[in-house]
Structure 1
Amino acid sequence: MTAAQAQFQLDHPGVSDGAAIWRIARDSKVLDLNSSYSYLLWCRDFAATSVVARDERGEVAGFVTGYIRPERPRTLVVWQVAVDEAHRGHGLAGELLDGLTAKVLGAGRPVSTIETTITPDNSASQALFLSYARRHGAGVAREVLFDAGLFPDDGHLPEELYRIGPIGPGSTPV
C-alpha cells in the first residue's frame, strides 16, 4: 500500500464536491479553468467516470474527471487531473488515475483505451500519463489533436492526444 492509498479514500464525486474541484483546478495554475457551473454539472452527470481523493476529514484533496467517448464506448477520456497544493508530491495523481481505472472497469465498463490531451510544455502531465502506461503495461500513441490555431484565445499551445492502451484484464500492450 502506498502512502497516498493509506492517507486518502477514493470516491466518486458528488455535486457538493463541485466547488472544491473548481478551486483545485483554479489553484493548479496549469489547467484550463472551466466555469464553476460546469464542475457542478460534471459531478452530477459524469460522477461514474470521475473520482476524488478525500483526506481524513472528508475534504477533496484531488480529482480526476473523465467520460466515455460516445462514438468509442471502450475509450475513457481523462479530462482533468489535479491535486491540491498541500498534497502534491506523494503520488496521489497516479493513485487517482489507477483508482479511476479500477472503478470504471469494476463497474463493468469494457474500457480498453485511455485518452487525454496534454500541451507540449506540461512535463508533469506527460510524466504522469507515461508512468500510468508503464504501470499498466500499455502502449502510448501520440499525435496533435487540436492545433494551436484552432483556439480562439491567443497563446494556447496545441493539445497533443495521448492514447494509452490496451488496458484492462488480460490486455497486452500494442
Structure 2
Amino acid sequence: MTAAPAELLIERPAPTDGAALWRLAKESKTLDLNSSYSYLLWCRDFAGTSVVARGADGEPVGFVTGYLRPDRPRTLLVWQVAVDPGHRGLGIAAALLDGLTARLAAERGVTELETTITPGNTASERLFTSFAERHGARVDREVLFAAGLFPDGPHDPEVLYRIGPLTASTPH
C-alpha cells in the first residue's frame, strides 16, 4: 500500500468537511466544480465510499469521492480526487485510493474500480495506471461520454478507465 506522510490522518469524511472538499475541488483547476451543497451531501450520503486526508491541524488536504455502482455493487466509481496544491507530489492521492479500495474490498467485496478522465489529464492518467499496476489489474479504456453529450458548452470527452480485477486488497 502507498504510504502517505506520517502526519496525515486518513478517514471517512463528515458533513463538516463539505466546504473544504468544495474548496479543494475549486483549487484543483481541473475538476468540474459541483455546487457546495453537493459536497455536503456527498460527505453525508457517500462517506462510506469516500475518504479524506487531514493535515496536522485536522483540516482536509485531500479527498477521494466515490460510490458503488447500483448495477455493479462490487465496482467503485471514483468521482473526484483532489489534493491541496501545497501537499501535491507526496503520494497522498495514491495513499487515499489504496486505503479506500482496501477498506471497500474488505467491507463490500469491491473487485473493480472505474473512473473517467478527460484526454490530456496526465496526472490522473498516471495516478490510475500506477494504481492498476500496484494492484495487478488490467486497465480497459473507452469513451463513456462523448463531448457532444454535454449540454453546457464545450467539454472534453470523458474516457472510462475500468480497472480490475483487483487481485488483492494489498497492492503488489
- Aligned-pair distance for 1:141? 0.2
Show the counterpart of 2:31.
31
Residue 89, structure 1, aligned to residue 84, structure 2: no
Show the counterpart of 2:117.
118
Q: TM-score with structure 1 length normalisation?
A: 0.93
What is the SS of the residue equivalent to 2:108?
coil
Letter of the 1:87 counterpart: H
Counterpart CA distance in 1 for 2:147 and 2:15 is: 33
Bigger Cα displacement from structure 2, 17-26 vs 93-102: 93-102
- Aligned-pair RMSD on alpha carbons? 1.6
- Aligned-pair distance for 1:153? 2.1
Bigger Cα displacement from structure 2, 59-68 vs 149-158: 149-158
Counterpart CA distance in 2 for 1:53 and 1:170 is: 19
Show the counterpart of 2:12.
12
**Please, which runs of 5 or more residues in structure 2 have no aligned partner?**
none
What is the SS of the residue equivalent to 2:6?
helix
Check the 8 A contact 1:105/1:168 in 2, yes or no.
Answer: no
Counterpart CA distance in 2 for 1:143 and 1:92 is: 27
Counterpart CA distance in 2 for 1:2 and 1:132 is: 9
Q: TM-score with structure 2 length normalisation?
A: 0.94
Show the counterpart of 1:169.
168
With over 3 angstroms needed to count, the CA separation of the structure-2 counterparts of 1:61 and 1:127, relative to structure 1, is: same
Q: How does 1:1-174 map to 2 (within 5 A)?
A: 4-106=4-106, 108-169=107-168
Counterpart CA distance in 2 for 1:129 and 1:63 is: 15
Could you list the per-position Cα deviations for residues 65-110 of structure 1 after superposition, in whole angstroms to 9, with x for gaps in the alignment? 000000111100000000011101111111110011112123x201
**Please, which runs of 5 or more residues in structure 1 have no aligned partner?**
none
Indicate the percent of aligned positions where both proteins have the same amino acid. Answer: 66
Letter of the 2:43 counterpart: C
Which has the higher relative contact order, 1 or 2, with Cα contacts under 8 A spaced 6 or more apart?
A: 2
